[in-house]
C-alpha cells in the first residue's frame, strides 16, 4: 500500500506531532541524551514521508515540508509562553494579537493568537 507525501504528512500531524507538541515541556526537562532517541525518531519519520534514503540530511527536508524539529517546537512554546505572560519587551508583544481584539464574535478560537496586520512586508 502506497500513500502520497501529502497523506503521509497529514498522518504525521495526526499521529506524531501532538505527542511532540504536548509532551515537549515535559521531555525538555530531562537531559539532552534522553531526547536523542526522540530526535532520531523524528528524523526517521521525515525520511519516510519524503521517501529519502536512510542517511539523507534532514534539515533541508524539514525546511522543504515546513515541519518543526523537536528543538524548534520547544523554542516556539517558550516564545509563546513569554508572549502570553508579557515577559518580553513591548516591541515583541505587538507582533501578535488575539482574535477577540479583531472581532467581538464569541468563537472557539477567540483567544488564539494571530499575526498583527501589516501593510508592508517589512514591519
Asked if residue 104 is part of any domain, the answer here is no
Does residue 105 carry a pLDDT above 90? no
Asked if residue 87 is part of any domain, the answer here is no
- From the list 61, 87, 76, the residue with the least C-alpha distance to 21 is 76
> What is the mean predicted confidence (pLDDT) over 34-62?
91
Summarised one tens digit per residue, pLDDT across range 52-94 is 999 999 999 999 999 999 989 988 888 888 988 989 898 888 8
- From the list 123, 21, 31, the residue with the least C-alpha distance to 75 is 21
Give percent helix, percent strand, percent coil of the chain, each to the nearest 5.
55, 5, 40
Asked if residue 101 is part of any domain, the answer here is no
Q: What percent of the chain has pLDDT over 90?
A: 30
DSSP H helices in 16-121: 17-22, 24-27, 32-50, 59-65, 70-84, 90-93
* b/e map 38-52, b = 16+ CB within 10 Å: eeeebbebbbebbee
> Which residue segment(s) compose the domain that 57 sits in?
5-70
DSSP assignment letter at 29: T
Number of independent structural domains in the chain: 1
Task: Compute the mean pLDDT over every residue in the chain, rounded to the nearest whole number.
Answer: 87
80: its cell numbers: 509563546
Asked if residue 50 is part of any domain, the answer here is yes
Amino acid at each position: 500500500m502506497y500513500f502520497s507525501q501529502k497523506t503521509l504528512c497529514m498522518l504525521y500531524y495526526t499521529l506524531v506531532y501532538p505527542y511532540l507538541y504536548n509532551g515537549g515541556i515535559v521531555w525538555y526537562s530531562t537531559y539532552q541524551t534522553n531526547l536523542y532517541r526522540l530526535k532520531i525518531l523524528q528524523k526517521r519519520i521525515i525520511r519516510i514521508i519524503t521517501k529519502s534514503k536512510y542517511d539523507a540530511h534532514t534539515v533541508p527536508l524539514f525546511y522543504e515540508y515546513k515541519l518543526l524539529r523537536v528543538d524548534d517546537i520547544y523554542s516556539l512554546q517558550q516564545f509563546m509562553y513569554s508572549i502570553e505572560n508579557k515577559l518580553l519587551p513591548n516591541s515583541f508583544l505587538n507582533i501578535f494579537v488575539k482574535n477577540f481584539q479583531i472581532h467581538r464574535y464569541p468563537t472557539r478560537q477567540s483567544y488564539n493568537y494571530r499575526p498583527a496586520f501589516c501593510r508592508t512586508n517589512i514591519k
